[in-house]
Chains A and B, each alone.
Chain A
Amino acid sequence: MAGKTLYEKIWDQHVVRDNGDGTALIYIDRQLVHEVTSPQAFEGLRLADRNLWRIDANLATPDHNVPTTDRSKGIEDPVSRLQVETLDQNCADFGITEFKMDDIRQGIVHVIGPEQGATLPGMTVVCGDSHTSTHGAFGALAHGIGTSEVEHVMATQCLVQAKSKTMLVSVNGEVNAGITAKDIVLAIIGEIGTAGGTGYAIEFAGDAIRALSMEGRMTVCNMAIEAGARAGMVAVDQKTIDFVKGRPYSPKDEQWEQAVKAWSDLHSDADASFDTVVNIDATSIKPQVTWGTSPEMVVGIDNKVPDPADEKDDVKREGMVAALNYMGLTANTPMNEIQVDKVFIGSCTNSRIEDIRAAAEVAKGRKVASNIKLAMVVPGSGLIKQQAEKEGLDKILTNAGFEWREPGCSMCLAMNADRLEPGERCASTSNRNFEGRQGQGGRTHLVSPAMAAAAAVTGHFVDVNDLMS
């Protein structure tokens, strides 16, 4: 019998029943809840007079709407405030554990799940947020769902799912200096396209993925959705187990031993077959910068803004013209000549401790360039903020002229007060460069934390290696 992929192993362990129509009822081990996609789900439960199936499988925190400045006055925008208060009330009414805005453990859902050990290897993890794919870094099957499905999981602890196809993305060889997880995943998206993973669960493998820290693997899996795949995952190894050990929600004592034994099987078998295999050469990856309004519109920093005239496909060419028009860019401009107005370091993609360390390393002894209106660093959680302060990273960053903020989603999607003004250009460590994503008319370039910090101190995009050598 042929071996199984990691995806198939976790799928098989979670089938409650085969519905016989191409779908199965899949058991969900963990649901993370935030304020934006949950209110209508709680309302649905109330209207149908239903309760939560398993209260302790849920963990909540507000993240999208929370201010990143002084929180002592609460949330100024009444609509945002109501949404956060609604989450507080719903969690109180239904008995769900919530890390509220004033809790040190509050943060971006995809940061706090792993930080608390609430995300464990082999689990099925869902959340009403597409970047739930992040948790796949732990050898978990994790994906975003809509509000109807949030309510479905609350009421039944299950989801009706059709099995995905499987894709192996193998990043082979060793990356060069200055290349981070963000550059790897942007290069992958540039290669397979934003719809390349549609219908698939992607397993990321190869030397370059194995060499990444857990934080780096989370960055890669986080952006699986930007390649169209609902789920991204990485096999369990010693790094996974070391990261999980001793966290508040992690198993203890005898159960820990039992769990570690079970987790040793969480990898694809050597003879497993995937529906699609993609090989990427790690050694050729350059620091990446997006130039357009889709994450697949990405090039290396040593490149130029692409010319639509070189594109043969009509629909794609028109898409490129529209993107350049929106971005205010001219074809064939060298990427390192593009000046930026704002710099955002944060989001569920890049707000973990190693991201802040990388930004601080570049910022150390330098100053934010005079043309930069705002350079901000938003940690992913209160605990990360505390750790960074313990290491003195906040001082390095503020001495260089960066603003040091409170944790949340912030300018990744600009639901709170942090946003771009029309026409402003931003070097951002977030995950989406869509039109209007960071504010109406705002122009987003996706980069790694080191590249964002390099843009902040020089005022334009630049190869971080030019600064660090």
Chain B
Amino acid sequence: MELVRDLLADYTLRNVMLGAVILGCVSGVLGCFAILRRQGLMGDALSHAALPGVCLAYLLTGQKAPVVLMAGAAVACWVAMWLVLLLLRRTRIDSGAALGTVLTIFFGAGVVLLTLLQKRNDANQAGLDRYLFGQAAALVQEQVVTMAVLGGSALLVVLLLYKEFQLIAFDPEFARTLGLPARFLETLLTGLLVVAIVIGLNTVGIVLMSALLVGPAVTARQWTHSLGRMIGYAGVFGALAGVFGALVSVRETRMPTGPVIILCIAVMVILSVLFGAAQGVVWERVRRRRHAPEPPPATGEPCPVPPATGGRP
């Protein structure tokens, strides 16, 4: 087992593997709630919004410590989230347009800031552009520890509030009639999404982070009709994709990690959408063919209005 020996001996490889497992697992789990609440695009908007946060954090503090940059990213994500919610509540802009607007404005501002920083003749800024596509090989132990603490806390919250999150995702109005603080729980879920994004910045990068949120969740949904299992599978699929992508990127090619992880996820998604046991297109078609001769059940609805004796206007 060359890999195991390398894992124990090779500092870089160990960090990369651990980081990828933590990230894949956390984003897989939280991605489930995002797609079930039909907020798959929210992750994309929030992760793009992280770029100006990273740049501003560096600009204000002059530091590149991961905790500082992560905090900057988290604040920017939070601002973006409130902007999206504000647009949705106060204007007639629909959610797709609101997310698209906020995403592009923040990302545009981030790219401008990044370019300005790179032109400043400041050697220290080198490496900020890694946040665009991620570079798992650059992970240091301090970052992995931060990722583990943040990700572990997020998973713990999901474990404790599983029942509440399930209800909020399925039927938020019913949750409110039970007296659950629906808006708080929804904000909390989005906040946890921000956590997943922030810990993915170094590894997968801003641009492709949303695939790690959506991909494993969609894959898992194809294999089961149970939310608990879906969350478990998504965590495992996310971790697998993370590990595979990070390994390829570190050992073989020195490619940016994000794109490799995303290609790996793409394979999982395609295979599962076709052959998944629960919702896969192929099995669905087989099942339909088997049940084909059966006519649909009659739905005889009573006439809603009794016969009127006069003419209708």
Instruction: Tell me whether A and B are bound partners.
Output: no
